[in-house]
Structure 1
Amino acid sequence: MQPSGTPSAFKTVGGLSLALGLMTTVQGLATLMMLAVATLAPVVATALDVGPEVVGFQISLIYISAAFVSALAGTLVSRFGGCTISQVAMVLGALGCIVIASGSLLLMAFGSVLIGISYGLTNPAASQILNRLTPSHRRGLVFSIKQTGVPLGGVLAGLALPGIAILFGWQGALYAVSGVGFLMAAFLLPLRSNWDRNRDRGVRVSANLLSGPVLVWRSTLLRALALMGFCFSAIQLSLMSFLVTLLVKDALWSIVAAGVAASVVQGFGAAARIFWGALADKLGKGIQILVMIGLITIVSSLAILTLSPEWPKSLVMIVMTVFGAAAIGWNGVFIAEVVKAAPHGNEGAATGGALTFTFAGVVLGPALYASVHNFFPSYASTFSALAIFPVLGVIVLVFTLRKSASN
Structure 2
Amino acid sequence: MPEKVSSYRWVILSITWMSFLTVFLVRLGIGPLGPFLKESLQISHTQVTALSSAIGITYLPALIVAGWLVDRLGIRRVLTFGTFFIGLCTVLLFFASSYQDMLIILVLSGVGSGCVFPSTTKAIILWFSSKERATAMSINQTAVNAGGMFGGILLPPIAVTLGWKYGWLFMGLGTLVISLTCAILYRNPPQEEIPGEADNVPGRAPKRSATALMSELLSSRDIWMLFLAGFFMNIVEWGLMVNLALYLWEALFFTEIIAGRLLSLTEFAGLLGKPATGLISDRLLGGRRKIVFMLMAGAASVIALVIGLSGDNLQWLLYPTLFLFGMAAIGWGGLYTALAGEMAGKERAGTIAGISAFTLVLGAFVGPPIFGFIVDTSGSYQAAWLAMALSGAISMGLMSLVREHRKRI
> Same fold by TM-score, threshold 0.5 exceeded?
yes
| Aligned residue number for residue 80 of structure 1 | 73
Q: CA deviation at 1:150?
A: 0.6
Counterparts of 1:136 and 1:275 in 2: how far apart (Å)? 16
| Aligned residue number for residue 193 of structure 2 | 198
TM-score where L is the length of structure 2? 0.84
Q: CA deviation at 1:339?
A: 1.0
* Compared CA separation, residues 166 and 134, structure 1 to 2 (3 A): same
- Backbone CA RMSD of aligned residues: 3.2
Deviation track 1:22-57 (CA, whole Å, cap 9, x = no partner) reads 11111112211334455555666776x543754432
Gaps of 5+ in 1: 1-5
Q: Any residues of structure 2 matched to 1:130-149 within 5 Å, and which?
A: 130-149=124-143
Say whether the 8 Å CA contact 1:125–1:348 is kept in structure 2. yes
| Aligned residue number for residue 202 of structure 2 | none
What letter is aligned with 1:397? M
* Compared CA separation, residues 155 and 11, structure 1 to 2 (3 A): same
| Aligned residue number for residue 363 of structure 2 | 361
Counterparts of 2:219 and 2:243 in 1: how far apart (Å)? 35
Deviation track 1:156-204 (CA, whole Å, cap 9, x = no partner) reads 233344555667655554333222222222222233564697342389x
| Aligned residue number for residue 206 of structure 2 | none
What letter is aligned with 2:341? V
Matched, 1:180 2:174: yes
| Aligned residue number for residue 33 of structure 1 | 26
What letter is aligned with 1:133? W
Q: CA deviation at 1:332?
A: 0.7
Counterparts of 1:96 and 1:350 in 2: how far apart (Å)? 27
Q: CA deviation at 1:343?
A: 2.7
* Compared CA separation, residues 52 and 36, structure 1 to 2 (3 A): farther
Which is further off, 363-372 or 156-165? 156-165
Counterparts of 1:348 and 1:116 in 2: how far apart (Å)? 18
Counterparts of 1:34 and 1:368 in 2: how far apart (Å)? 17
| Aligned residue number for residue 203 of structure 2 | none
Say whether the 8 Å CA contact 1:20–1:130 is kept in structure 2. yes
* Compared CA separation, residues 52 and 393, structure 1 to 2 (3 A): closer
Counterparts of 2:404 and 2:83 in 1: how far apart (Å)? 42
TM-score where L is the length of structure 1? 0.84
Say whether the 8 Å CA contact 2:83–2:175 is kept in structure 1. yes
What letter is aligned with 2:56? Y
Q: CA deviation at 1:337?
A: 0.4
Deviation track 1:270-325 (CA, whole Å, cap 9, x = no partner) reads 11111111111121210111111111122212223431544331x22222221221
| Aligned residue number for residue 51 of structure 1 | 43
Matched, 1:280 2:273: no
* Compared CA separation, residues 388 and 166, structure 1 to 2 (3 A): closer
| Aligned residue number for residue 110 of structure 1 | 104
Say whether the 8 Å CA contact 1:81–1:195 is kept in structure 2. no
* Compared CA separation, residues 211 and 392, structure 1 to 2 (3 A): farther
* Compared CA separation, residues 264 and 213, structure 1 to 2 (3 A): farther
Matched, 1:17 2:10: yes
Counterparts of 2:311 and 2:389 in 1: how far apart (Å)? 19
Q: CA deviation at 1:370?
A: 3.0
What letter is aligned with 1:187? T
Any idea what SS the aligned residue of 2:310 has? coil
| Aligned residue number for residue 321 of structure 1 | 323
Counterparts of 1:247 and 1:95 in 2: how far apart (Å)? 32
* Compared CA separation, residues 168 and 361, structure 1 to 2 (3 A): same
Say whether the 8 Å CA contact 2:28–2:242 is kept in structure 1. no
| Aligned residue number for residue 3 of structure 1 | none
* Compared CA separation, residues 44 and 306, structure 1 to 2 (3 A): closer
Q: How many residues align?
A: 391
Any idea what SS the aligned residue of 1:346 has? helix
Counterparts of 1:178 and 1:193 in 2: how far apart (Å)? 24
Identity across the alignment (%):
21
Say whether the 8 Å CA contact 2:32–2:260 is kept in structure 1. no
What letter is aligned with 1:298? S
Counterparts of 2:387 and 2:44 in 1: how far apart (Å)? 26
Deviation track 1:115-138 (CA, whole Å, cap 9, x = no partner) reads 212222212101111111112011
What letter is aligned with 1:51? I
